Chains A and B, each alone.
Chain A
Amino acid sequence: MSFSAPSMENGFSSPRNESFPAGLRVLVVDDDPTWLKILEKMLKKCSYEVTTCGLAREALKLLRERKDGYDIVISDVNMPDMDGFKLLEHVGLEMDLPVLMMSVDGETSRVMKGVQHGACDYLLKPIRMKELRNIWQHVFRKKIHEIRDIESHDSYDGIQISRNGSELSDDGHMFCGEDLAYVKKRKDFENKHDDIGDHSSTKKHRVVWSVDLHQKFVKAVNQIGFDSKYEVGPKKILDLMNVPWLTRENVASHLQKYRLYLSRLQKENDLKASLGGIKLSDLPSKDPAGSFGLQSSINGNQNDVPNGRYQFSGDNFFAQDVDSKNHEGDLKRVVSETKRTLTADLPDPQDMRTQMSFDHSFGSLDSEVNFAAIPAPYSWSKAPENQFKEEHKPLLQLEDGFSQLPPSGIHNHIQIDDPLQSASSITSGLSMTGREICGPEKIKPLYPQYSSNHMSILSPKESAFDSFPVQSKSQMVKHQSFEPISTAISSMKPQGFNLSCITDFESCQRNLISATDSTFEPFNEDLTVCWLEGDCHSMNFGLPNVEFTDYIDPGFIAEFPIYLCDTLTSDTECPFDPPEYSIVDQGLFLS
């Protein structure tokens, strides 16, 4: 089988896609030398490209060094230097690659643990050749989801998110590395495989949640009041939105996704809490001041990198709290969590609310930014993704430096396991947010150093932009529909995470929190929403190399994933072009 080359381009960095699954790049990690050799032999027989590793740390190192160097990871559960589950989480968070676990122990509890930690599959030793022959399906699946997510959220053809915030299209859309053609191809690809798809939220009758639409949605949600999330119902939202052709059902499903997003962010937060502290080294925080990065980047100003990058790589968006440097681990975990939990459905708003409390999850940040949309307890633990609550207090509490953009949120939409997917969606979303976020200048990129990966900021799909008054920093906060920027550092290069952003994050958080409310206070402080932007790759399917670009969008825009972009220079309006936004949306919601 082969993926259509263009669409897989991003996903696979090599042309081997043409003969997929041959050439699949597998990283095998096992402390047992005999098994390592045997697996290597077996995989080679499957025509895969194999790299073996006897230590988990070594494996992580390899993965980080070559972000886009592998398609799938197979790891043993029992390893001396690091628990296989931990490795699993790291990989999920940072690279958003499919991971298969192996063990001689097939005990249900262990298998369950594996699945909980995000394993795509759990293989029992002795492993048969035929089992290995089929592992490509996990890679394929991720790609599909990614595409779908992009598709579903991509109401605009040619949404392009510029990877480096570099150029903007005429209308100010951010374009990612991919060009329009690519996007189109992807769409085609996805359409072709629509049936294969599965839980992706793009389903038949989907409404394209454009940036504008999403913004309206978030605005409506916020109007109803974040606090009253329990009462937020589709009908009410629909009424407020005042979009004649939209149905209650459309809103309901969109709301669900939003909630999932938020809850997922929360989960990630929790995870984060347990993780060490992710270093967002590359957080691009270019412009902390209030620029919610997005804007600028969106505007295509060439980016300030942080802004520019909205690329979400699949799940890599993180709402990173700049301040929480130490949350690297958590972030990672969160990312993985979000990634994993990325589901298209958003849990109930209620959940979201609770989930969004990133506070909990991120213990470290004091000023937890509450994403308006984020439900209270944001736990990184696989919380439902909808953490992203639009109404939200847009600011996700970036705990531990995680911008709470619930990565999951984005993931949610994407339903992908692949962070990249979400990233892409987020990217679009980000753009939107960028606009909104423009306001507060304080928003400092959460992770200044985050350069490498994109964070997928869950930006509500569309319409989020509208709700964000981009122009002034202060406005930004308004929306706070900040979709918690999931600090999903899914693709984040672990090393890159320096949570320098976190520091900013904290302040951002504060801002966010204050900003949260529906009134959207301008963010004065930096929104710590950091989104790690990955390069456009993230858009690719499941690219392992999601890098976190360094823009951080502080903007919490209610609907948009908050990304703290330092590049968000608020002063200008960041016109979000829908296309960009939709990508983000895709990340967030799959309508």
Chain B
Amino acid sequence: MDKNRLQRQLDMKRSLIDQGYLDEQFIQLEELQDEDSPNFVEDMVTMFYNNSARLLENIEQALVTGPIDFPKLDDYMHQFKGSSSSIGATRVKNECTRFLEHCTAGNAEGCVRTFLRVKQEHAILRTKLETYFQLARQAGSSASGGAKAR
């Protein structure tokens, strides 16, 4: 195990949390990681991104297609928000909340605007997490979860 690399991984994690990209849930995922599922966190993140692409697509379609169906949008976004909460994607979640506010208010423009923000945060986080997992791998499998090393 490369101590430096481990340290880098931990530092990055700390930074992601401090900046609000990730929250407690992410830590919890790490704690769930064990011998049975050594790559649990990364697996979950991957699963999230795979699934969320579809959800975002649904939202986008609902936004661009004909008159906006706000209740439906609300449903879709709730689904997406719920999904984001699974990996602790805080910033993404927050943007979702803003979107939902506009949605409830029936504000189409606000929805479109906040939706773009949601997509943006979603993409930014993905990049960061990719880097993070790379560091984790480099730091050695035992430290990849970082469960012990908070």
Contacts and interface: CB of A to CB of B under 8 A. Distances in A.
B22 to A, nearest CB: 11
A78 interface: yes
Given A45-B32, A126-B86, A31 B79 contact: yes
Contact of A35 (B23, B82, B93): B82
Given A34-B44, A78-B79, A104-B78, A128 B86 contact: no
Nearest to A126: B25
Interface in B129-145: none
Contact of A41 (B40, B78, B82, B87): B40
Contacts of A76: 82
A41 B37 contact: yes
B32 A125 contact: no
Nearest to B48: A34
A266 to B, nearest CB: 32
A474 interface: no
Interface string A93-110: 000000000011100000
A32 interface: yes
Contact of B85 (A31, A42, A45, A104): A104
Nearest to A103: B82
Given A76-B82, A78-B79, A38 B88 contact: no
A225 to B, nearest CB: 50
Contact of A78 (B44, B47, B75, B88): B75
Interface string A212-248: 0000000000000000000000000000000000000
Name which of A37, A104, A105, A129 has the most chain B CB atoms within 10 A of its CB. Answer: A104
Interface in A105-133: 105, 125-126, 128-129
A15 interface: no
Interface in B79-111: 79, 81-83, 85-88, 93
B86 A35 contact: yes
Contacts of A42: 32
A105 B48 contact: no
Given A34-B48, A38-B44, A126 B83 contact: no
Contacts of A105: 78, 81
A559 to B, nearest CB: 48
Interface string A30-60: 0111110110011001000000000000000
A125 B23 CA distance: 13
Contact of A126 (B31, B47, B51, B88): B88
Contacts of A104: 78, 81-82, 85, 93
A309 to B, nearest CB: 43
A38 B29 contact: yes
Name which of A35, A103, A105, A128 has the most chain B CB atoms within 10 A of its CB. Answer: A35
Contacts of B47: 33-34, 37
A35 B84 CA distance: 10
Contact of B82 (A125, A128, A129): A125
A76 B37 CA distance: 24
Given A78-B79, A103-B82, A125-B82, A34 B87 contact: yes
The number of chain B residues touching the other chain, given as a range, is: 20 to 34
Interface string B16-57: 000000011100110110000100100110011001000000
Contacts of B75: 78
A245 B24 CA distance: 62
Interface in A354-401: none
Contacts of A41: 32, 37, 40
A130 to B, nearest CB: 10
Contacts of A35: 82-83, 86
Given A38-B86, A45-B32, A125-B85, A32 B78 contact: no
Contacts of B83: 32, 34-35
A46 to B, nearest CB: 11
Interface in A123-173: 125-126, 128-129
A222 to B, nearest CB: 50
Contact of A33 (B37, B51, B81): B51
A227 B24 CA distance: 60
A125 B86 contact: yes
A129 B51 CA distance: 23
A45 B31 CA distance: 10
A545 B130 CA distance: 47
A105 B81 CA distance: 9
B50 to A, nearest CB: 8
Contacts of A103: 78, 82
A587 B137 CA distance: 60
A78 to B, nearest CB: 5
A126 B48 CA distance: 14
Contacts of A126: 23-25, 28, 85-86, 88
Contacts of B48: 34
Interface string A6-45: 0000000000000000000000000111110110011001
B51 A128 contact: no
B100 to A, nearest CB: 9
A211 to B, nearest CB: 51
A129 to B, nearest CB: 6
Contacts of B93: 104
A57 B97 CA distance: 29
Name which of B78, B82, B85 has the most chain A CB atoms within 10 A of its CB. Answer: B82
Contacts of B32: 38, 41-42, 45, 129
28 contacts: A32-B79, A32-B82, A32-B83, A33-B47, A33-B51, A34-B44, A34-B47, A34-B48, A34-B51, A35-B86, A37-B44, A38-B29, A38-B32, A38-B44, A41-B40, A42-B32, A45-B32, A78-B78, A103-B82, A104-B78, A104-B85, A105-B81, A125-B82, A125-B86, A126-B23, A126-B28, A126-B85, A126-B88
Given A32-B51, A32-B82, 18 more contacts: A32-B83, A32-B86, A33-B47, A33-B51, A34-B44, A35-B82, A35-B86, A37-B47, A38-B29, A38-B44, A42-B32, A45-B32, A78-B78, A103-B82, A125-B85, A125-B86, A126-B85, A129-B32
Closest 5 pairs between A and B when the two form their complex, measured CB to CB? A104-B82, A126-B25, A34-B86, A126-B85, A125-B85
